[in-house]
Amino acid sequence: MDLNCYNAIVKNSNDIEAIIKEYINPIYNFIFRLCGNTEGADDITQEVFIKVWKNLKKFNPEKNFKTWIFTIARNTTFDWLRKRKNISFSRMDEQESEKTFEETIVDIESLPDEIFVNGELAKELENALSKIRPDFREIILLHYTEELTFEEISKIVGKPPNTVKSQHRRALHQIRTFIRI
Protein backbone atom coordinates (compact mmCIF):
# COMPACT_ATOMS: atom_id res chain seq x y z
CA MET A 1 0.00 0.00 0.00
CA ASP A 2 1.54 3.28 -1.01
CA LEU A 3 1.58 6.52 0.97
CA ASN A 4 -1.31 8.08 -1.00
CA CYS A 5 -3.51 5.03 -0.40
CA TYR A 6 -2.65 5.10 3.31
CA ASN A 7 -3.45 8.84 3.57
CA ALA A 8 -6.77 8.33 1.78
CA ILE A 9 -7.69 5.56 4.20
CA VAL A 10 -6.85 7.63 7.27
CA LYS A 11 -8.74 10.63 5.90
CA ASN A 12 -11.82 8.48 5.29
CA SER A 13 -12.46 7.77 8.98
CA ASN A 14 -9.93 4.96 9.23
CA ASP A 15 -11.61 2.90 6.51
CA ILE A 16 -10.22 -0.51 7.37
CA GLU A 17 -12.19 -2.11 4.55
CA ALA A 18 -9.60 -1.22 1.89
CA ILE A 19 -6.81 -2.68 4.01
CA ILE A 20 -8.75 -5.88 4.62
CA LYS A 21 -9.53 -6.29 0.92
CA GLU A 22 -5.89 -5.92 -0.03
CA TYR A 23 -4.28 -7.95 2.76
CA ILE A 24 -6.80 -10.56 3.97
CA ASN A 25 -5.60 -13.37 1.69
CA PRO A 26 -1.83 -12.92 2.06
CA ILE A 27 -2.11 -12.43 5.83
CA TYR A 28 -4.41 -15.44 6.27
CA ASN A 29 -2.17 -17.68 4.11
CA PHE A 30 0.95 -16.60 6.02
CA ILE A 31 -0.72 -17.22 9.39
CA PHE A 32 -2.19 -20.56 8.28
CA ARG A 33 1.20 -21.80 7.18
CA LEU A 34 2.77 -20.72 10.47
CA CYS A 35 0.13 -22.13 12.83
CA GLY A 36 -0.97 -25.11 10.74
CA ASN A 37 -4.72 -25.13 11.31
CA THR A 38 -7.72 -23.28 9.91
CA GLU A 39 -9.44 -22.49 13.20
CA GLY A 40 -6.31 -20.89 14.61
CA ALA A 41 -5.63 -19.02 11.37
CA ASP A 42 -9.20 -17.66 11.35
CA ASP A 43 -8.93 -16.40 14.93
CA ILE A 44 -5.45 -14.97 14.52
CA THR A 45 -6.32 -13.22 11.25
CA GLN A 46 -9.31 -11.57 12.89
CA GLU A 47 -7.14 -10.47 15.81
CA VAL A 48 -4.51 -9.06 13.42
CA PHE A 49 -7.01 -6.84 11.64
CA ILE A 50 -8.45 -5.65 14.95
CA LYS A 51 -4.93 -4.68 16.03
CA VAL A 52 -4.34 -2.95 12.69
CA TRP A 53 -7.58 -1.00 13.07
CA LYS A 54 -6.75 0.00 16.65
CA ASN A 55 -3.19 1.03 15.81
CA LEU A 56 -3.62 2.52 12.33
CA LYS A 57 -3.11 6.06 13.60
CA LYS A 58 0.20 4.98 15.15
CA PHE A 59 1.53 3.76 11.81
CA ASN A 60 4.40 5.87 10.49
CA PRO A 61 3.55 6.60 6.84
CA GLU A 62 7.26 6.90 6.03
CA LYS A 63 7.60 3.16 6.76
CA ASN A 64 6.52 0.25 4.57
CA PHE A 65 2.89 -0.68 5.34
CA LYS A 66 3.26 -4.29 4.18
CA THR A 67 6.19 -4.80 6.56
CA TRP A 68 4.18 -3.26 9.40
CA ILE A 69 1.10 -5.44 8.88
CA PHE A 70 3.14 -8.65 8.46
CA THR A 71 5.02 -7.83 11.66
CA ILE A 72 1.70 -7.62 13.47
CA ALA A 73 0.62 -10.93 11.88
CA ARG A 74 3.87 -12.65 12.85
CA ASN A 75 3.84 -11.41 16.43
CA THR A 76 0.18 -12.26 16.92
CA THR A 77 0.73 -15.77 15.52
CA PHE A 78 3.70 -16.45 17.76
CA ASP A 79 1.79 -15.10 20.78
CA TRP A 80 -1.03 -17.53 19.94
CA LEU A 81 1.44 -20.40 19.52
CA ARG A 82 3.11 -19.57 22.85
CA LYS A 83 -0.28 -19.61 24.58
CA ARG A 84 -0.90 -23.07 23.16
CA LYS A 85 2.64 -24.08 24.18
CA ASN A 86 2.93 -26.67 21.47
CA ILE A 87 4.47 -25.23 18.36
CA SER A 88 4.02 -27.87 15.72
CA PHE A 89 7.34 -28.87 14.20
CA SER A 90 5.69 -31.45 11.99
CA ARG A 91 2.28 -31.59 10.37
CA MET A 92 2.51 -35.36 10.09
CA ASP A 93 0.65 -35.77 13.39
CA GLU A 94 -2.21 -33.51 12.34
CA GLN A 95 -5.48 -34.81 10.96
CA GLU A 96 -5.78 -35.39 7.26
CA SER A 97 -8.83 -33.11 7.10
CA GLU A 98 -6.68 -29.98 7.35
CA LYS A 99 -6.14 -27.92 4.21
CA THR A 100 -2.85 -28.91 2.63
CA PHE A 101 -0.29 -26.73 0.90
CA GLU A 102 -1.10 -28.08 -2.54
CA GLU A 103 -4.79 -27.22 -2.09
CA THR A 104 -3.85 -23.54 -1.87
CA ILE A 105 -1.92 -23.56 -5.16
CA VAL A 106 -3.87 -22.32 -8.17
CA ASP A 107 -2.91 -24.18 -11.34
CA ILE A 108 -4.77 -22.63 -14.27
CA GLU A 109 -5.17 -24.67 -17.46
CA SER A 110 -2.63 -27.35 -16.61
CA LEU A 111 -2.45 -30.66 -18.39
CA PRO A 112 -3.25 -33.80 -16.37
CA ASP A 113 0.38 -34.92 -16.21
CA GLU A 114 1.41 -31.43 -15.09
CA ILE A 115 -1.26 -31.53 -12.41
CA PHE A 116 0.06 -34.85 -11.15
CA VAL A 117 3.70 -33.71 -11.12
CA ASN A 118 2.82 -30.38 -9.49
CA GLY A 119 0.73 -32.14 -6.86
CA GLU A 120 3.55 -34.52 -6.03
CA LEU A 121 6.08 -31.69 -5.82
CA ALA A 122 3.72 -29.64 -3.66
CA LYS A 123 3.28 -32.57 -1.28
CA GLU A 124 7.02 -32.95 -1.02
CA LEU A 125 7.46 -29.22 -0.46
CA GLU A 126 4.71 -29.13 2.16
CA ASN A 127 6.26 -32.10 3.92
CA ALA A 128 9.70 -30.49 3.84
CA LEU A 129 8.35 -27.14 5.10
CA SER A 130 6.61 -28.86 7.98
CA LYS A 131 9.88 -30.45 9.08
CA ILE A 132 12.01 -27.32 9.28
CA ARG A 133 12.17 -24.98 12.26
CA PRO A 134 9.27 -22.49 12.53
CA ASP A 135 11.61 -19.48 12.35
CA PHE A 136 13.14 -20.87 9.14
CA ARG A 137 9.67 -21.64 7.75
CA GLU A 138 8.47 -18.07 8.33
CA ILE A 139 11.47 -16.65 6.44
CA ILE A 140 10.81 -18.98 3.50
CA LEU A 141 7.10 -18.10 3.45
CA LEU A 142 7.67 -14.35 3.73
CA HIS A 143 10.31 -14.37 1.01
CA TYR A 144 8.72 -16.69 -1.55
CA THR A 145 5.00 -16.44 -0.85
CA GLU A 146 4.76 -12.78 0.13
CA GLU A 147 7.72 -11.71 -2.03
CA LEU A 148 9.30 -9.63 0.73
CA THR A 149 12.95 -8.65 0.58
CA PHE A 150 15.42 -9.83 3.20
CA GLU A 151 15.52 -6.26 4.52
CA GLU A 152 11.73 -6.25 4.99
CA ILE A 153 11.81 -9.70 6.58
CA SER A 154 14.54 -8.57 8.98
CA LYS A 155 12.27 -5.77 10.20
CA ILE A 156 9.37 -8.19 10.67
CA VAL A 157 11.31 -10.84 12.58
CA GLY A 158 13.54 -8.38 14.43
CA LYS A 159 16.83 -9.86 13.24
CA PRO A 160 19.70 -8.32 11.24
CA PRO A 161 19.44 -8.80 7.45
CA ASN A 162 22.55 -10.98 7.35
CA THR A 163 21.04 -13.30 9.98
CA VAL A 164 17.87 -13.55 7.89
CA LYS A 165 19.93 -14.35 4.78
CA SER A 166 21.89 -16.97 6.69
CA GLN A 167 18.72 -18.57 8.06
CA HIS A 168 17.23 -18.50 4.55
CA ARG A 169 20.23 -20.45 3.22
CA ARG A 170 20.02 -22.93 6.10
CA ALA A 171 16.28 -23.37 5.52
CA LEU A 172 16.84 -24.07 1.81
CA HIS A 173 19.53 -26.57 2.68
CA GLN A 174 17.19 -28.34 5.12
CA ILE A 175 14.37 -28.36 2.57
CA ARG A 176 16.69 -29.92 -0.03
CA THR A 177 17.49 -32.76 2.35
CA PHE A 178 13.78 -33.62 2.61
CA ILE A 179 12.92 -33.32 -1.11
CA ARG A 180 14.08 -36.05 -3.44
CA ILE A 181 15.02 -34.55 -6.77
pTM > 0.85: yes or no: no
Query: How many whole angstroms separate alpha carbon 40 and alpha carbon 31?
Result: 8
Residue 85 carries which DSSP code?
T
Could you give all domains of the chain from N- to C-terminal order, each with its CATH number?
A: 1-88 (1.10.1740.10), 110-181 (1.10.10.10)
Report the distance separating Cα 15 and Cα 31, nearest Å.
Answer: 23
**Confidence (pLDDT) at 91:** 46
> For residues 128 and 179, is the Cβ–Cβ distance under 8 A?
yes
Q: Is the pLDDT of residue 156 over 70?
A: yes
Helical segments of the chain, H only: 3-11, 16-35, 38-55, 65-84, 112-131, 134-140, 150-157, 161-178
Q: What is the pLDDT of residues 60-117, one digit of tens each?
A: 889 899 999 999 999 999 999 888 865 444 444 444 445 555 555 444 555 555 555 5
> Comparing 12-26, 97-111, 115-129, 158-172, which segment has the lowest mean pLDDT?
97-111
